[in-house]
Amino acid sequence: MSKRLEDEYRQMILDDVPDLWDRIEAGLTEKSVSEPVNQNAEKPEKKKKPVILKILPWAGGITAAALILIVALPVILIANLAKKAQKTESAVPMNAAYMEQNAMTAGEDSGADFLADTQRNTYNDEAVMFEPAEAEEAKAEGEVADNSVEEDGEYAVGAAGGAVINPFSEDAETGQRGKMLLGQQQRGTKTEFAEEYYYAVIDDIRIIDEKQYCTCAFSEDVSILTDPDENVSVLPYRFAISDDSDVEAEIGGTYRIEFDGDEIVLLERMN
Residues that bind another protein (CB under 8 A): 1-6, 8-10, 12-14, 16-18, 20-21, 23-25, 27-33, 35-36
Segment holding 82, helix H or strand E:
helix 35-110
Asked if 259 contacts 240 with a C-beta cutoff of 8 angstroms, the reply is no
| Nearest CA-CA partner of 161 in 124, 119, 115, 206 | 115
| Nearest CA-CA partner of 225 in 248, 257, 200 | 200
Whichever of 7 and 210 has its CB closer to another protein, that residue is 7
Distance, CA of 36 to chain centre: 77
Cβ at position 59, least distance to another protein in Å: 36
Cβ at position 35, least distance to another protein in Å: 7
Segment holding 6, helix H or strand E:
helix 5-15
Q: Letter for the amino acid at 13?
A: I
Cβ at position 40, least distance to another protein in Å: 13
Whichever of 23 and 187 has its CB closer to another protein, that residue is 23
How many CB atoms lie under 10 A from the CB of residue 115?
22
Cβ at position 47, least distance to another protein in Å: 19
How far is it, in rounded angstroms, from Cα 59 to Cα 84? 37
Whichever of 33 and 194 has its CB closer to another protein, that residue is 33
Whichever of 35 and 42 has its CB closer to another protein, that residue is 35
Whichever of 10 and 46 has its CB closer to another protein, that residue is 10
Put residue 162 in one of left, alpha, beta given phi > 0 → left and psi -120 to 50 → alpha: left
Cβ at position 39, least distance to another protein in Å: 9
Cβ at position 54, least distance to another protein in Å: 28
How far is it, in rounded angstroms, from Cα 69 to Cα 81? 18
Whichever of 27 and 50 has its CB closer to another protein, that residue is 27
